[in-house]
C-alpha cells in the first residue's frame, strides 16, 4: 500500500481551457469538445492583438507584457460565453502559472485546464506539417522554455497527445462527463 498522497481530483467547471505549447492540438480538440456539448469555442489565437501576431510571425517570442492584455480579453470573453450558454471551451497556451491564475481572475470563476502533453519531437513534427499559421517552428523551444508544469493545487488534468485526435477527445470527454 502506497503512502504517497493521492493527486487532488479536478473539478469540472463551466469554463474549460485546452492548453499546451503550440501545435499540441488545442484548437482541434477544443473545437471537438465544444461541438460535443454544443457550446461556444473560443480560440485564444483569435484574441491576440495584431502586434502580437506580427511579433510571432517574425519569430519573436512574446513577453509577459504582450500577453497580459490578450489573457484579460480571453478570460472575460470565456466568462461571457459561459454566461450565455452555461459552458464555454477555450484553447490557450496558458504556459505559466501566472497566466493561468490571471485567466481565472479575469473570468471571475474557476477554470478547468486540460493540458495536452507531448514531446518536443512529436510537436515539432506536427508544426512542420501545419499550413498558414503565424507561429513559426523556431518559436517551439521558447514555448517549452516558458512552460511551467501544472501543480497539484491547480484545477487540471493532463492527456497525452500521442493517440489520435478522436482518442484524445474521447479520453477528455470521459473524464469531464
| Global pTM value | 0.89
Is 138 within the bounds of a domain?
yes
Tens-digit pLDDT profile for residues 127-145: 777 655 555 567 788 889 9
Tens-digit pLDDT profile for residues 26-62: 999 999 999 999 999 999 989 999 999 888 888 888 8
Is 132 within the bounds of a domain?
yes
Q: Which DSSP state fits 119?
A: -
Please state whether 94 falls in left (phi above 0), alpha (psi between -120 and 50) or beta.
left
User: Does residue 111 have a pLDDT over 90?
Assistant: yes
Is 8 within the bounds of a domain?
no
Residue with the bigger pLDDT between 173 and 56: it is 173
Is 72 within the bounds of a domain?
yes
Is 125 within the bounds of a domain?
yes
Is 22 within the bounds of a domain?
yes
**Residue span of the structural domain in which 145 resides:** 15-176
Q: Which DSSP state fits 108?
A: T
Q: Give residue for cell 501545419.
A: 130
| Distance (Å, whole) CA 170 – CA 25 | 14
How many domains does the chain contain in total?
1
Is 124 within the bounds of a domain?
yes
Nearest to 79 by CA among 16, 5, 170, 171: 16
Q: CATH no. for residue 166?
A: 3.40.50.300
Is 9 within the bounds of a domain?
no
Amino acid at each position: 500500500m502506497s503512502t504517497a498522497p493521492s493527486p487532488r481530483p479536478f473539478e469540472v467547471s463551466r469554463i474549460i481551457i485546452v492548453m499546451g505549447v503550440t501545435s499540441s492540438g488545442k484548437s482541434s480538440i477544443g473545437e471537438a469538445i465544444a461541438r460535443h456539448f454544443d457550446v461556444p469555442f473560443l480560440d485564444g489565437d483569435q484574441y491576440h492583438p495584431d502586434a502580437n501576431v506580427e511579433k510571432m510571425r517574425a519569430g519573436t517570442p512574446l513577453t509577459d507584457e504582450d500577453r497580459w492584455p490578450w489573457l484579460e480579453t480571453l478570460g472575460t470573453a470565456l466568462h461571457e460565453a459561459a454566461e450565455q450558454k452555461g459552458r464555454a471551451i477555450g484553447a490557450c497556451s496558458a504556459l505559466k502559472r501566472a497566466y493561468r491564475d490571471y485567466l481565472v481572475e479575469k473570468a471571475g470563476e474557476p477554470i478547468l485546464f486540460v493540458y495536452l502533453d507531448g514531446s518536443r519531437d512529436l510537436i515539432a513534427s506536427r508544426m512542420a506539417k501545419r499550413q498558414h499559421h503565424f507561429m513559426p517552428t523556431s518559436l517551439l523551444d521558447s514555448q517549452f522554455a516558458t512552460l511551467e508544469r501544472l501543480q497539484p493545487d491547480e484545477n487540471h488534468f493532463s492527456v497525452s497527445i500521442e493517440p489520435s485526435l478522436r482518442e484524445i477527445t474521447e479520453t477528455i470527454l470521459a473524464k469531464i462527463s
